[in-house]
Structure 1
Amino acid sequence: MRLIIIGTGGMAKNQVDHFSQIDGVEIVGAVDTDVNRLAAFADKFNIEKRFLSLDEAIAWGDFDAATNVTPDRAHHPTTLPLLVAGKHVLCEKPLAENYEKALEMTEAAERAGVINMVNLTYRNVAPLQRAREMVIAGEIGTVKHVEASYLQSWLVSKAWGDWRSESTWLWRLSTGHGSNGVLGDIGIHILDFAAYGAATDIDHVFARLKTFNKAPGGQIGEYMLDANDSFTMSVDFANGALGVVHASRWATGHLNELKLRIYGERGGLEITHRPGESELRGCLGEDAESAIWTTIEVPPVPTNYQRFAEAVATGVPQDPNFRHAANLQKVLDLAMVTERERRELKV
């Protein structure tokens, strides 16, 4: 697979690290509108072809696939030309800023007949994959209740950088710079984590969003800090289960932690994922009587990057695809409506 990188920011570096370790993948080009950033990136990773516009890259055309690592707002206008050109695409999450644009991208990809995937990175968490298998196999019985949380602390610490002075973080706090806040940034991850692990789709949603004051006048330089910082959400799942999902950037002591608890009529599962460590625990069978939880060993699973490369090589689609990400975006969009209207909505 001859691959080009669209956007050369921090996540692009992470993707190059992953793709460069996969046999049969050659990174042949990079695209960015910032000439200095593009040069530094291409020099670091020894990428020969460099383009200041996507049109130039498509006109060159000597590539099979692209990974789209541009900011959220740019996913839609940059992915569509790639699909028209018949290129396979791995797109960063969220697929688009709203469901309408995400659906347009989905339908374009399906018309083009190309491999299309969204980099919901926590699909790489082996305990999540194993938990889903156990749920589908009926090992905990019918799922009745789900709890999911995604906790970050970068608004109360500088572990990832200083959000007060670094544009990398400031744009994520500003709707005017394309951010839908914590809901749009990491909400899509925890909703996917919950629904995928519990092996059922979200059917109804009611959400509360909160933006806290972070600076005098709610502004730092050109950035209006008006995007949501925390959300809580109650959901009904298609199988009848009830769920509670929440996320925050104010979670002191939690650098980047996802947790999922799945309770069935015959057992429970708990997945915890933090940087560098993941764990699956179960309370199953007779242990349910005495509430004994046991750690379940889980082998590694292929990453999204490996599965995308395999899909391009074999022509066999892999998940998570654009349609799945568009459906998640529909939930996020409706969550914002429920906040405004204070009512539950059906997905």
Structure 2
Amino acid sequence: MTPPGEVAAVGLALQGETAGGAAPVEPLRVGIVGGGFMARVHAGAARAAGARVVALASSSASSAGRAAGALGVDTAHETVDDLVRDPRVDVVHVCSPNATHAPVALAALAAGKHVICEKPLATSAAEATALVEAAAAGGLVGAVPFVYRYHPMVREARARVAAGEAGRVLSVRGSYLQDWLLDSGDVDWRVDSAAGGPSRAFADIGSHLVDLLEFVIGDRLARLTSTTNRAHDSRGGTRVDTEDEAAVVFETLGGAIGTLFVSQVAPGRKNRLLLDVSGTAESLEFSQEEPETLWVGRRSGARLVPRDASILSPDAARLSTVPAGHPMGYVDAFAAFVRDAHDAVRGGAPEGLPTFADGLRAARVTEAVLDSAAGRTWVDVP
């Protein structure tokens, strides 16, 4: 039996044939750095996009071997340097701990590889700036998986705002809630700032929320004030120096006001990302846990707009890869992001692809949130 990923790859390769019967485009060859959950997600998305996953490296040769075996990858490199120098690899997907993102991505760019790097792109704006500059200098694609952009109903919300259907945006409310670090015994490498960076909850999930907000409304945060909270001072006997929650009040360049709240200690919330936009004509609400609809409210009433390509904006319809009534979700959004990133590697210019510049933007907002919380004051966002 052919693995599902290979079926998708064959289908996409056939789509690459011309009407004249020209040979299909050669699949891109992917190398993955990391062996955890995100490595599995990236491997599946790359295969669904028609790529071949040819190599993997991790924190050690043994862990790389285990991960490569589990993911069906032929080559497990002993070191990350071996992977980025592998001439068979076209695109490096960086799925390792946050503190390693910048050095691994820089090494891959220096080796002439295109890079898809997990968020946060770097643990400081200075490192993220260096990555933006390195990718530009090498003429290489650098992309960050802010994949919630790739839900069709997010694109529909964006199109309605851009077309003026919502009117002038007055306010925005965003939240991203999880509970996987609720108890003091819940320990993960992200809790340690040495591995995860100085921000945890906001850098990890708040970055998604800010990117989604600015993407949908076509505006940027201008200034903000914030506070953070820590549920436990120690986890598993080790002191904790990163936040579990963050609350932000902000103003945008366009004059809208809003709030953001992120938490990794909200009981019962598994991955609840919600964006609520209020304009002078209508309100729009998207919930990642109910991605098949967009709530549209007007003074005269409200309705749920379904994910039906026949009634959606062109960009939303493009991402509706299965008929209405066949649910799409996170895996589909991730696969669509990788397809667009790989299209950019081939010279395309896909609409809405999140690049290293967007990763830098998230780093700058994260630093502003931490600075504001530390100083108990309003901070301008660069």
TM over 0.5: yes
More strand per residue: 1 or 2? 1
Residue among 352, 359, 375 paired with 1:341? 375
Q: Tell me the equivalent position of 1:177.
A: 195
The 1:50/1:189 distance shift into structure 2, 3 A limit, reads same
Secondary structure at 1:183 match in 2: helix
Matched residues in 2 for 1:231 and 1:238: separation? 22
Residue among 31, 36, 41 paired with 1:9? 36
Residue among 45, 48, 60 paired with 1:34? 60
Moved over 4 A (4+): none
1:297 aligns with 2:297: no
Q: Offset at 1:237?
A: 1.0
The 1:16/1:313 distance shift into structure 2, 3 A limit, reads same
**Structure 1 range deviating more: 69-78 or 169-178:** 169-178
* TM value normalised by structure 1: 0.89
1:271 aligns with 2:305: no
Q: Offset at 1:27?
A: 1.1
Matched residues in 1 for 2:359 and 2:150: separation? 16
Residue among 17, 26, 50 paired with 2:76? 50
Matched residues in 2 for 1:174 and 1:65: separation? 29
1:259 aligns with 2:280: no
Conserved 8 A contact 1:132-1:197: yes
Matched length: 328
Q: Tell me the equivalent position of 1:164.
A: 185
Q: What is the aligned-residue identity percentage?
A: 25
Conserved 8 A contact 1:164-1:170: no
Q: How does 1:1-347 map to 2 (within 5 A)?
A: 1-23=28-50, 25-156=51-182, 164=185, 169-179=187-197, 180-213=199-232, 218-221=234-237, 223-274=238-289, 277-284=291-298, 288-289=299-300, 292-298=301-307, 299=309, 301=319, 303-316=336-349, 319-347=353-381
Summarize deviations over 1:202-251 as a string: whole Å, max 9, x none: 1111110111226xxx2424x32221011100111121100101111222
Where do 5+ consecutive residues of structure 2 fail to align?
A: 1-27, 310-316, 320-332
Matched residues in 1 for 2:45 and 2:194: separation? 32
Conserved 8 A contact 2:125-2:360: yes
Matched residues in 1 for 2:192 and 2:297: separation? 42
Matched residues in 1 for 2:86 and 2:215: separation? 39
Q: Offset at 1:147?
A: 0.4
Q: Offset at 1:306?
A: 1.2
Matched residues in 2 for 1:63 and 1:171: separation? 28
Q: Offset at 1:181?
A: 1.7
Q: Offset at 1:46?
A: 2.7
Conserved 8 A contact 1:204-1:346: yes
